[in-house]
A and B are shown apart, each in its own frame.
Chain A
Amino acid sequence: MRKFWCAFFVFWPIVAIIYSLISSLVPSLGWWFPGASVTELGQRIDNLFYLILYIVTTVFVGTQIAMGYVLWRASHSKDERAWFSHGSHSLEVIWSVVPSVILLFLALYQMDVWALFRVQAYFPKEAREAPVAEVTARQFEWRIRYPAPGKKLQLKPQPDDLYDVNDLHVPINRPVMIQLRSGDVQHSFFLPHLRVKQDAIPGQIIPIWFKAEKLGIFDLTCAELCGWGHYKMRAQLSAEREVEYEAYLKKLQADQNYDGHAIPSAVAKKDE
């Protein structure tokens, strides 16, 4: 029975390691990141994740090996009595100082990515100066307001603003900033493929910036409980070429001014 229990406590960490390895090495299972990050900042976040993962895995393996070893020794000891020891001062010093150095390094090493992501002074200038859209989260959808083509987004709605719902279009390869608001309760703007997440706080306008570097349609979801329909807030981010982006705004504009006569050049995809 002693052997069984020793093996039991060693077996599970091994399963955990194997399972994690399979998850990370076989992306087709979908048990890892939803693809490589579409933004450069997101890739840096992933790198930080991996850095922590390596350190943590080392510690995990180390402690589990130590644990397995001491378990085996303690349960198979031939000595009549346990080793009488109240501890070791030098060991305590070692295992306090070494982790604290590593942890402090980890903390400090994260700072600049965080600053880039969140501190407005570090935002790319072109993004900061011309936010592309205002996203208002409400129960249970994302309402999006763009400025009319050629105009700047104003804090207050303008008569010629363009509106869409659940579909945020941005141009790729250029940093864009959006103004995040909430119409009712707290929501959270989550772009898993871009590693962007920011809560929408009622009464605040929070700027977020990102620079999509890949064409495509990416999921936009809500990550903060906002009521019974929390899960329903599915939307998408359409990252497209500058030309397509402008065409989209034009189409939106034409559709929004549709009076039954001026037939939009391209029929808006969500219309009739």
Chain B
Amino acid sequence: MSAAGIAHEHGHEQEHAHGAHGHHELSFFHKYVWSKDHKIIGMQFLFTTLLMLMVGGGLALGVRWQLAFPWTSMPLFGPLFASAGGQISPEFYTMLFTMHATVMIFLVIIPILAGAFGNFLIPLMIGADDMAFPTLNALSYWFMIPAIFSFGMSFYFGGAAAGWTSYPLLSELRVAAPGSGPAQTWWLLGVTLVGVSSMMGSVNYMTTIINMRAPGMTLFRMPLTIWAMFITAILQAFALPVLTAAGFMLLFDRLAFGGWLEGVHTVFFTPAGLVVNNAEPTVGGGQPLLWQHLFWFYSHPAVYIMLLPAMGMVSDMLACMCRKPIFGYKPMVYSMSAIAGLGFIVWGHHMFTSGMNPALGMTFMVSTVMIALPSAVKVFNWIGTIWGGRLQFNTVTLHCIAFVSMFIVGGLSGIFMAAVPVDIYIHDTYIIVAHFHYVVFGTTMFGVFGAIQFWFPKMFGRKMNETVGKWHFLLTYIGFNGAFFPMHMLGIAGFPRRYADPYIHPYLEHLLPLNQFITISAMIMGFAQFLLLGNFVISIFNGQKAGRNPWNANGLEWAAPSPPGHGNFDVPPVCYRGPYEYSNPNRADQDFWMQTDPTRSPKKPPEETAHGHS
């Protein structure tokens, strides 16, 4: 099937789209469970990640509860801790924030972008009938299940509690922390499985985008979403092996054999002579900093993996909602590439205070500061896109504007961290927490919420409810800013991360009321997600019916039926122009001009207009 997929790229699509795929009935199991159809797999990813979003959000609220009302009984969950008088224990708190980050990063953000939207959109937007490797694609989803199971087992064993960064020796020595026992092993296994899943996805996306584009779909006619997915896939393919290797090194360090193999393990990250929890002194000659280098070599690019696809999708949505071509298409592509490229040489900025060679601090500062440049270019281009557009404030638009707005905040606060001397003070304080939540939640999740509403008609043939959507947006936006903006102030006041009870420190005592405000805002935000979930589920069955192209958008995906059948397109798509020909004066009858629309411009051929100013 994959061979057929590649083979038909050059013009045989007609027989294949209908011959190979269309007309044989699949059982329920093959159609909805073990499906190799990229759309079903994308939706499987979407459902799973939305569910995980609620789990991760619940964990976050647990963290917030402790910070606002320390050592008091949690509502609903308090009775679970009855033997401790309703108090959660400090190690439970460390588990809460570790698992919150783990779930949100590995089970929500990365899979919802690459897994859900990457899967659903890539073949549709480039005019392919499926992914290059459909079986691999299905496996990519099904590897998420053991990953979720592993994280679940980690919960069962008390939950990994060394932070999502899992710095050794805390994560390495079993006695160093509650949760460094089997929970940590399961956690590492889970991360590895997520890695396998991502890797299968990224190989697939690269192959599909390179080989399976519809006729006429040149690289520079690809929507920015596809560019973003493409760059993300490359990032993932190059960065992930390092994390996987590091994970295995840590696993080997953690080996705990009995019997005649007792004491057989590696010591990559263990220095000698440390006595932890009265265990025997460690033997070794390893270096804990090695883990940090390896971990951040993946995890910094991972931040862009969590960001770029949302940037691409928002660019597409914004252009459509403004009825205007994207401002500076090629600079957008170049800046995304620059972010990805620079993203590989900035990992050291997570380690400014770690004790690595100070000269490295200087180099990493320059590269980190420079990564603000492509980000700035993108922001200016988005504003340029809105400039002179014909804007309609629907839910999608609101989320896109929030995306740009929040990205400005998150991007600008990043400059403080990039400056090494300033980072000495603010490192590991709440300003960092504020920063990355503005980037990962404020930016990516608003992009994703917008994208859900935007492509929902394509997924299910119905629209989502606008009123509920707007309420969801309003509450999320207010709750989000109420929760995370004051965290900047906490950070400037020197409030460290990951404290179960910060108020035992005299210089933090007075920050309790501010934290209570933050927690209440977070609760509002958490509550709002039920609106999204409800709207999502109810709209699948009761939403207003949508046609093929409810937004009058240009992309190839809107030429397919809603929802597209197996094989996607009833008419094999041919691409005639770039994706952003909105309000083209050559097309007086309508303000959009679909990529598949063979109508010729009266004046010039479409190839040229597609290239914009270049």
In the assembled complex, the Cα of A207 lies from the Cα of B163 at a distance in Å of 26
| With known contacts A48-B422, A223-B429, A74–B390 Cβ distance under 8 A | yes
B409 partner, pick from A60, A99, A227, A231, beta carbons under 8 A: A60
- Taken residue by residue from 136 to 157, chain B's Cβ proximity to chain A (1 for < 8 Å, 0 otherwise) reads as 0000000000000000000000
Are B383 and A92 neighbours in the complex by a CB distance under 8 Å? Answer: no
Are A82 and B419 neighbours in the complex by a CB distance under 8 Å? Answer: no
Q: Is A264 an interface residue (CB 8 A)?
A: no
Query: Which residues of B sit under 8 angstroms from A5, Cβ to Cβ?
Result: 393, 398
Are B390 and A77 neighbours in the complex by a CB distance under 8 Å? Answer: yes
In the assembled complex, the Cα of A49 lies from the Cα of B611 at a distance in Å of 42
User: Considering only CB atoms, which chain A residue lies closest to B407 in the complex?
Assistant: A63
Q: Is A154 an interface residue (CB 8 A)?
A: no
In the assembled complex, the Cα of A82 lies from the Cα of B385 at a distance in Å of 10
Most chain A Cβ neighbours within 10 Å, of B379, B424, B489: B424
Are A106 and B415 neighbours in the complex by a CB distance under 8 Å? Answer: yes
Query: Which residues of A sit under 8 angstroms from B390, Cβ to Cβ?
Result: 74, 77, 79, 81-82
Q: Is A88 an interface residue (CB 8 A)?
A: yes
B494 partner, pick from A12, A33, A67, A117, beta carbons under 8 A: A33
Q: Is B510 an interface residue (CB 8 A)?
A: yes
Are A45 and B389 neighbours in the complex by a CB distance under 8 Å? Answer: no
Are B288 and A202 neighbours in the complex by a CB distance under 8 Å? Answer: yes
Chain B 543-566 residues near chain A, CB threshold 8 A: none
In the assembled complex, the Cα of A63 lies from the Cα of B273 at a distance in Å of 54
User: How close is A185's CB to chain B, nearest CB, in angstroms?
Assistant: 4
Query: Which residues of B sit under 8 angstroms from A223, Cβ to Cβ?
Result: 353, 427-429, 496-497
Are A230 and B500 neighbours in the complex by a CB distance under 8 Å? Answer: yes
Are A103 and B169 neighbours in the complex by a CB distance under 8 Å? Answer: no
Are A118 and B361 neighbours in the complex by a CB distance under 8 Å? Answer: yes
What secondary structure prevails in chain A residues at the interface with B?
A: helix
Are B405 and A87 neighbours in the complex by a CB distance under 8 Å? Answer: no
- Taken residue by residue from 308 to 324, chain B's Cβ proximity to chain A (1 for < 8 Å, 0 otherwise) reads as 00000000000000111
In the assembled complex, the Cα of A111 lies from the Cα of B359 at a distance in Å of 10
In the assembled complex, the Cα of A32 lies from the Cα of B584 at a distance in Å of 51
User: Considering only CB atoms, which chain B residue lies closest to A111 in the complex?
Assistant: B362
B415 partner, pick from A56, A74, A104, A201, beta carbons under 8 A: A56
Contact residue range for chain B? 35 or more
In the assembled complex, the Cα of A255 lies from the Cα of B358 at a distance in Å of 40
- Taken residue by residue from 12 to 39, chain A's Cβ proximity to chain B (1 for < 8 Å, 0 otherwise) reads as 1101100110010000001111100000
Are B419 and A63 neighbours in the complex by a CB distance under 8 Å? Answer: no
Query: Which residues of A sit under 8 angstroms from B90, Cβ to Cβ?
Result: 228-232
Q: Is B408 an interface residue (CB 8 A)?
A: yes
| With known contacts A83-B387, A96-B373, A107-B365, A228–B89 Cβ distance under 8 A | yes
Are A197 and B91 neighbours in the complex by a CB distance under 8 Å? Answer: no
Are A92 and B331 neighbours in the complex by a CB distance under 8 Å? Answer: yes
Chain B interface: which of A156-164, A165-173, A187-195? A187-195
User: How close is A41's CB to chain B, nearest CB, in angstroms?
Assistant: 8
- 14 additional A-B pairs beyond A85-B388, A225-B498, beta carbons within 8 Å, are A9-B405, A23-B489, A45-B424, A81-B585, A82-B583, A83-B389, A85-B325, A87-B327, A87-B384, A103-B415, A192-B507, A225-B163, A226-B170, A227-B161
> What are 28 inter-chain pairs, A to B, with CB distance below 8 A?
A16-B485, A19-B486, A32-B492, A66-B383, A67-B401, A67-B408, A70-B387, A71-B391, A74-B390, A82-B583, A83-B324, A86-B328, A87-B325, A87-B326, A87-B328, A107-B366, A107-B418, A107-B419, A184-B275, A185-B169, A190-B496, A199-B353, A202-B274, A203-B287, A225-B497, A227-B161, A227-B170, A228-B94
Question: Interface on A for B, CB 8 Å cutoff?
Answer: 1-2, 5, 9, 12-13, 15-16, 19-20, 23, 30-34, 42, 44-45, 48-49, 52-53, 55-56, 59-60, 63-64, 66-67, 70-71, 73-75, 77, 79, 81-89, 91-92, 95-96, 99-100, 103-104, 106-108, 110-111, 113-115, 117-119, 139, 182-186, 188, 190, 192-193, 195-199, 201-204, 206, 219, 221-232, 234
